[in-house]
Amino acid sequence: MTEPLQQMEAASKLLELKNIDLSFGGVKAISNISFDVMEGEVRAIIGPNGAGKSSMLNVINGFYHPQQGEIWFDGKQRHSMKPYQIAYQGIARTFQNIALFKGMSVLDNIMTGRFTHMRKNMLWQALWKGPAEQEEIENREFVEHIIDFLEIQAIRKTPVGRLPYGLQKRVELGRALAAQPKMLLLDEPMAGMSVEEKEDMCRFILDVNDTFGTTIVLIEHDMGVVMDIADRVVVLDYGRKIGDGTPDIVRNDQTVIDAYLGVSH
């Protein structure tokens, strides 16, 4: 094992997945996968199409419930939960196909990310006086910091549907950040972007990791990006784990090379 890995052993595990099995009817999407995510690291999940990467993210944030296996998050074993409960636990995500409210402004979209931090009930919200108003002001202030952080001041009030793709991705990241997550799941944050947009996005992801200390798990196809920004990489193929380690280790792993270049199975 290399130096950084040993150091990481010392850091605490934020998430640990043990022997996860997930199948849809007769189709086995994930079989017997275990890996962990350290606090504060950037962890990438890579693999060819259909390898089970998105399923893995969906297991982590509770969209799918694995038939077998254990999920440990923040020191506690997690039992079957609804996605919103998991959101309350501190996991936020973005989606492969942008899932924003197209007709709402950038500001309002990011505000929806704050829902886990709104405590006042519907009656207060409807009256919008006193505590509810105060709460809204506090949350708005937080959202404004995110807008500043992502440099999207100029589109604050623009409906999301009118924005180009790259900016929509950035807004989605903003919404996930608004939840102040412990862990951020990014499903192909750079798919379909121009080189310049990718560079911007990389910078934002690293800045998030740097500034807020957020742990990041991301799926990405662009190998250059993954090798540049990930601390460790886990490689999936046909629902099985075929590699795990630092970018350098993974890059030189024969099984991984075979999976990417295509060897008959």
Partner 1 sequence: MASSAQKQSYPAPGLDTFPKLLQHNARMFTNKDAMREKEFGIWQSWTWSQVADEVERFALGLQANGVKAGDSVLIVGGNRPRTYWTMCAVQSLGAVPVPTYHDSVAEEMQFVIEHSEARVIVAEDQEQVDKILEVEDRCPAVELVIFDDPRGMKGYDSEVIEIKDFVTVQAQGEAVRAKQPNQYQDLVSKGKGEDISIILYTSGTTGKPKGVVLTYDNTLLTGYHGGLMEGLTENEEILAYLPVAWIGDHIFSYAQSYSMGFCVNCPESTETVAADMREIGPTYYFAPPRVFESLLTSVQIRMEDAAPIKRKMFKYFMQVAKTTGIKLLEKKSVGIIDRVKYALGNVLVYAPLKDALGMGRVRLAYTAGEAIGGEIFDFYRSLGINIKQLYGQTESSVFITVQPNGEVYPDTVGTPSPGVELKIADNGEVIYRSSGAFHSYFKNPEATADTKTPEGWVHTGDAGFMASNGHLRIIDRAKDVGAFSNGKMFAPKYIENKLKFFPHIQEAVTFGDGRDDCMAFINIDLGAVGNWAERNNIAYASYQELAAHPEVNKMVAQSVAEVNESLLDDEMLSHSQISRFLILHKELDADDGELTRTKKVKRKLINERYKILIDALYDGKTQCFIETEVAFEDGRIGKITGDISIHDVKTFNPVAQAS
Q: Which residue has the tokens 């589109």?
A: 155
**The one among 9, 26, 27, 196 contacting partner 1 by CB under 8 A:** 196
Tokens of 151: 């440099």
Stretch touching partner 1 by CB under 8 A, among 33-41, 146-154, 212-220, 245-253: 146-154
Nearest-angstrom CA–CA distance, 210 and 27: 40
**The one among 138, 151, 228, 248 contacting partner 1 by CB under 8 A:** 151
Site string for partner 1, 92-131 (x = CB under 8 A): ----------------------------------------
What DSSP element (H or E) covers 197?
A: helix 195-212
Residue 149 binds partner 1 (CB under 8 A): yes
CB-based contacts of 259, cutoff 8 Å, min separation 6: 47, 48, 235, 237, 242
Q: Is the dihedral of CA 106, 109, 113, 115 positive or negative?
A: positive
Q: How far apart are the first and last CA of the chain?
A: 29
Residue 145 binds partner 1 (CB under 8 A): yes
Whichever of 82 and 148 has its CB closer to partner 1, that residue is 148
Stretch touching partner 1 by CB under 8 A, among 71-79, 86-94, 141-149, 218-226: 141-149
Stretch touching partner 1 by CB under 8 A, among 19-27, 55-63, 202-210, 217-225: 202-210
Nearest-angstrom CA–CA distance, 212 and 214: 5
Question: What is residue 12's DSSP assignment?
Answer: P
Q: How far is the CB of 141 from partner 1 (least distance, A)?
A: 7
Q: How far is the CB of 229 from partner 1 (least distance, A)?
A: 14
Tell me how crowded residue 63 is: count the other CB atoms within 10 A of its CB.
14
**The one among 19, 85, 153, 255 contacting partner 1 by CB under 8 A:** 153
CA-to-CA separations, 26 to 22, 60, 179, 235, in angstroms, rounded? 10, 22, 36, 23
Residue 170: alpha-carbon gap to chain centroid: 13
Q: How far is the CB of 154 from partner 1 (least distance, A)?
A: 4
Q: Which residues bind partner 1 (CB under 8 A)?
A: 140-141, 144-145, 147-149, 151, 153-154, 156, 196, 199, 203, 207, 210-211
